[in-house]
Amino acid sequence: MTFAEYQSQVLEHYQKEQAAGRLFFAFPHPTPARIKAGCIQVLETRFERKDESFLRSYFKMGNSQDFGPAVRKFDTDKFRPLNSYLRDPARNPGPEHIQLLAWLIDFPDRPYRSSYELLVEPPAEAKTSDMCTSLINSEVNDGSGNDATEIAQPVVHEEEKKAYQVFEPSVSDGIRDMVDRTNVSHQKKSVWTKKALYALYATLLFSVVSVFWYVNTAKRLPQTGMVVPVIGQKGCVIWTDDHYEPVSCKQAVNGLGSFGLDESTVRNLKRITLPDTITSKSVRKVWYVKIDGHLEYYTAAGFHPVHTERRLKLLTSYMYNKYLFHYADKTDQQAGFLNWFRN
Q: If you average pLDDT over residues 192-198, what whole number do you get?
A: 82
Domains of the chain, by residue range, sit at: 3-104, 216-268, 272-343
Q: What is the pLDDT of residues 245-297, one digit of tens each?
A: 998 887 655 455 556 888 889 999 999 999 989 999 999 999 999 998 889 99
Q: What is the pLDDT of residues 55-98, one digit of tens each?
A: 888 988 877 777 888 888 899 999 999 989 999 998 888 899 99
User: Mean pLDDT score of the chain, rounded to an integer?
Assistant: 76
Is the confidence at residue 161, as pLDDT, over 60?
no
Beta carbons within 8 Å of 47's beta carbon, 6+ residues apart: 67, 309, 310
Band of pLDDT at residue 124, cut at 50, 70 and 90: very low
- Residue type for 113, please? R
Band of pLDDT at residue 170, cut at 50, 70 and 90: very low
Q: Return d(Cα 249, Cα 231) in angstroms, integer.
A: 13
257-264: long-range pairs with CB below 8 Å, 24+ = 257/226, 257/227, 257/228, 257/229, 257/308, 258/69, 259/228, 259/308, 260/228, 260/229, 260/230, 260/231, 261/228, 261/229, 261/230, 261/231, 261/237, 262/230, 262/231, 262/232, 263/230, 263/231, 263/232, 263/233
DSSP 8-state code for residue 116: -
Across 32-36, 115-119, 201-205, 255-259, least confident range? 115-119
pTM assigned to the model: 0.35
Beta carbons within 8 Å of 283's beta carbon, 6+ residues apart: 315, 316, 317, 320
